[in-house]
Structure 1
Amino acid sequence: MGWLDGFRRRGTGGPKDVRGRLEGAMSQRRLRGWQPPLENINSLVASGGPRLLARSRELVVTNGYAANACEAFASNLVGDGIKPSSLIEDPALRDQVQRLWLAWTDEADADGLTDFYGLQAMVAREMFVAGECFVRMRPRRSEDGLLVPIQLQLLQSEMLPFEKTEVAANGNPIRCGIEFDLIGRRVAYHFRRRHPGDSTDQTLPVPLTTRVPAEDVLHIYRPIDAGQIRGLPHMAPAMVRLFLLDQYDDAELDRKKTAAMFAGFITKTAPEEQLMGEIEATDDSGATVSLEPGTLQVLLPGEDVKFSSPADVGGGYEAFQYRTLLSVSASLGLPYHLVTGDVRQANYSSLRAELVEFRRRVEQLQHGVVAHQLCRRVWARWLETAVLSGALDLPDYAGSPARYRAVNWIPPRWDWVDPLKDIQAQVLAMEAGIVSRRKVVEATGYDVEEIDRENAADAARVKALGLQYRTSPGETQGARATPATRPNPGKGNGDGNGNDGDGDDGATASDPATQQE
């Protein structure tokens, strides 16, 4: 068996032989020029971050597709707001906390331009454009007259200098403007005092920075690599294609415009003879002739007119645009129709399949980035500030703050292509016990307790006014809910149509419960 052992040893080579079987690691002719540097993402961000950020901002301002993609990203990520539902066990305390939070959201913005949910939308746009956004929590004085003395200030990515990488006076390393302690925890951010690109603010020189403790700063970004300390623009993979496509479209438009300006070219043997009306001289020693409607021109012997026939863009122009924008949409992680507004080739199945995958990605960002990095920390600081300022009276908060901080953040509802089918599926899942009614209601973007209070108020108002509806707000929740006692449709004493006057007309031919039974 010695010859077999030798064959086995020859067949099992070293690391080079193993690498040779990996196509991506080969060094053949076609891959010889592919030698990417093995750099950490933080080095790439530090070196190319400022230029990448500047180009991203310019594209969102000047490119229609980039602007539309930015708005679609923000509207799907936060919509009208990711809202809290407190999990405090005491109903009275829970209601008190919710009401105070709702009132404070109007005062949350330090600039006074929007509310807390408007700030969420601004954060979402900054995540798309810059890949990151900073929120500074600013304590306020009691004499400022706020319900809870705290506000939020949004800071753009440019406010934290990429080039500030040094060792602080206390020995802590500063990397891209972020100060870390010796075990790698963030302890401070060194912000510029004014935006480096704002020429209207001349109060302070640009180089000056200020140190802000990390507990007062929220750094919202999506880390794509382990150890990443700064964010990358969401549109970075599509940036070059968008820029070149915009240039190509501009050149094509100018070419068509120039070609359309020349109706034809006149050739004649006698330059002194006028042809087709008055001749107007041009700056370049040439001449142009204008035509009027209904003109019949007699040409002299030896004179000729050749009309312009500019080349068309060709039949492949639209296919090229479609494929390029499809690649841009894939790079952005957005459905094609959200980037371009083109739904000509879409149908129910394709739209739904596209939206299901897109919404999975959005839900990942909602829960892992916006809710975790922004909403939860704001809620915890707001609750602590409200207790310390006396705006809330929560028994033994200092001893056990965790039981008061428990909260569920509800993202905005999804509007499906066919809402009837989705609602019916949710009702069936709820009735089968697969999902709770709370989860079904929260999927619509509302708090279940708020819905219950509104239903109770509606039922009380209906009863007090003696109103009658086919579905009473007081009956069991669910689209297929039926009353416990079903009256005989032929013996009703209510309105002569089988109704018994109690606000429930029993089962009808279109009632799903009747069809089920």
Structure 2
Amino acid sequence: MLKRLSGFIEQLRGGSDRRPDASGRSPRQPFFSRLRAKYDAANTTLDNMKHWSRTDGLSSASANSPEVRRTLRNRSRYEVANNSYARGITLTLANDVVGTGPRLQMLTPDDAANRFVEAEFFAWAEAIGLAEKLRTMRLARVSDGKSFGLLTSNERVDARGKLDLRLIEADQVASPTLVNDTSRYIDGIRFDADGNPISYDVLRHHPGDDFFSYEEEYNTIPSAAVLHYFCCDRPGQIRGVPDITPALPLFAQLRRFTLAVLAAAETAADFAGILYTDAPANGEADSAEPFEPIELEKRMLLTMPGGWKMSQMKSEQPSTTYAEFKKEILNEIARCLNMPFNVAAGNSSGYNYASGRLDHQTYFKSIRVEQTQLARVVLDRILNAWLREAILIEGYLPNSLRTLDSTFEHQWFWDGHEHVDPAKEANAQKIRLASHTTTLAIEFARQGRDWETELKQRAKELALMRDLGLTIESDESDSPPETKVTEDNAEKSQQQTN
């Protein structure tokens, strides 16, 4: 008995008694000796059952159904239209992403052709208000989840090219009446076998118009003429949800708390005073009607009934935690947009220089990511459509660009972000250039400017100043150190080259 028990204990310890049998396989361990790992978050308990009751395993298309997106759009638009914080946050984000508008730099071998295309595209962009439309598209993505633009022809465009960008709301891109969604047709968008959009069904009138009817006709527009700008959060997602969706309950809490504090303060201010007595029930005190209002006159002496006292209601709202609560709620709201609190609130009184710079680094990185997506999804396609139309205009473009097979290499410049301390930034820029850890192209690009254009302009200014006999006084100690090459170093360099 002791031998069997010791063998059993040895098996639990993982000892050498588990020898292979005749087939060469090791005997199976007892089920209670195997370690089974688990996640606390995967357990459903009485405490977390209600919290996780709304979870589901729906696909991205099913989770973002037309009904769900319509509800989120309506609520987001309401908050942006009625909440000053929501309005300010969306405007700040659109202004920071788009700014005064992108600037084109062509990179083809023909410099003269590059300058011509850049000037003509800038004139066309100003004629159609491209910067304003891009800001509108970014605003729509915050409240609607997406934005659609149609590449159309407009004869009233004051430019050689008549290409125009017409924006439409997300409500108009929808499945027409009695058209069922399938695996290749979802909510007005038709896809091919590889998941690429083929066409979009666009209602001729907004569903919210007073004259909209359910028999409304629609236009089927090929995908080449449609710009669909949204944030894809899940694989297979084809329609976006508002960027402020996670913050919608927080906006409601912020409004409720503000109104509750205001109501409490108003209630306390409405009572000029309260008449009370310390006498016990049926005690010696003159009779007075409960809750009877008494009208008071200014600067008058008053006498109270015998046994009664007068006091004012203490105003305890807003409390000391009122501002702190609003700050925390607003900080949580701005987090879903990668926006720091001082930008969202428009208040940096509680920041020092280092913390402000650190918070802005994450925000500016998010801005650069959004600008890259906007350039790829919207601007590159607009430029390609503009160039193809310009090629068809006889004698418009230079000969080096008059072919549909050309690869139009280019890049986009956006507004730079102003530094909090320009002197420190200028000094850091001088050190980077002197140590050859950066280039003029990179430094000018950070400011949203073309280095070639700026250097040519600077050369013109210096030439004109020399002609006029003007000089620029500068301290030689402030100039960046030059790289000195001695004769020995030159000889060594020449030997290595040989």
Residue 203 to residue 167, structure 1, CA distance change in 2 (3 Å) = closer
Tell me the residue number matched to 1:486: none
Give 5+ residue unaligned stretches, structure 2: 1-15, 20-25, 277-284, 485-498
Contact residue 98 and residue 371 of structure 2 kept, 8 A: yes
Q: Does 1:37 align with 2:56?
A: yes
Among candidates 354, 365, 369, match of residue 364 of structure 1: 369
Percent identical: 21
Among candidates 281, 290, 297, match of residue 291 of structure 1: 297
Tell me, in whole angstroms, the C-alpha distance in 2 between the residues paired with 1:366 and 1:350.
25
Letter in 2 for 1:387: I
Tell me the residue number matched to 2:239: 230
Tell me the residue number matched to 2:131: 117
CA deviation digits over 1:255-282, x for unaligned, max 9?
211221111134795679xxxxxxxxxx
Among candidates 3, 25, 38, match of residue 21 of structure 1: 38
Tell me the residue number matched to 1:133: 147
Contact residue 50 and residue 162 of structure 1 kept, 8 A: no
Tell me the residue number matched to 2:386: 382
Letter in 2 for 1:86: M
Tell me, in whole angstroms, the C-alpha distance in 1 between the residues paired with 2:101 and 2:157.
26
Q: Does 1:438 align with 2:455?
A: no
Of 376-385 and 389-398, deviating more is: 389-398
Tell me, in whole angstroms, the C-alpha distance in 1 between the residues paired with 2:333 and 2:218.
38
Q: Map 1:54-453 to 2 at 5 A.
A: 54-108=74-128, 115-141=129-155, 146-161=159-174, 166=179, 173-199=184-210, 202=211, 207-266=216-275, 269=286, 287-292=293-298, 294-301=299-306, 304-367=309-372, 369-390=373-394, 392-395=396-399, 397=401, 399=403, 401-403=405-407, 405-453=408-456
Tell me, in whole angstroms, the C-alpha distance in 1 between the residues paired with 2:244 and 2:258.
20
Tell me the SS of whatever aligns to 1:21.
Answer: coil
Letter in 2 for 1:295: M
1:335, CA displacement in angstroms?
A: 0.4
Give 5+ residue unaligned stretches, structure 1: 109-114, 273-284, 472-505
Q: How many residues align?
A: 451
Larger radius of gyration: 2
RMSD: 3.1
Contact residue 172 and residue 207 of structure 2 kept, 8 A: yes
Letter in 2 for 1:184: G
1:32, CA displacement in angstroms?
A: 4.4
Of 221-230 and 301-310, deviating more is: 301-310
Letter in 2 for 1:24: A
Tell me the SS of whatever aligns to 2:399.
Answer: coil
Tell me the residue number matched to 1:462: 465
Contact residue 148 and residue 169 of structure 2 kept, 8 A: yes
1:174, CA displacement in angstroms?
A: 2.2
Tell me, in whole angstroms, the C-alpha distance in 2 between the residues paired with 1:435 and 1:12.
62
Tell me the residue number matched to 2:18: 3
Contact residue 166 and residue 174 of structure 1 kept, 8 A: no
Contact residue 178 and residue 190 of structure 1 kept, 8 A: yes
Letter in 2 for 1:21: K
Q: What TM-score does the superposition give when structure 2 sets the normalisation length?
A: 0.82
Tell me the SS of whatever aligns to 1:3.
Answer: coil
1:515, CA displacement in angstroms?
A: 12
Q: What TM-score does the superposition give when structure 1 sets the normalisation length?
A: 0.79
Letter in 2 for 1:118: E
Tell me, in whole angstroms, the C-alpha distance in 2 between the residues paired with 1:442 and 1:401.
29
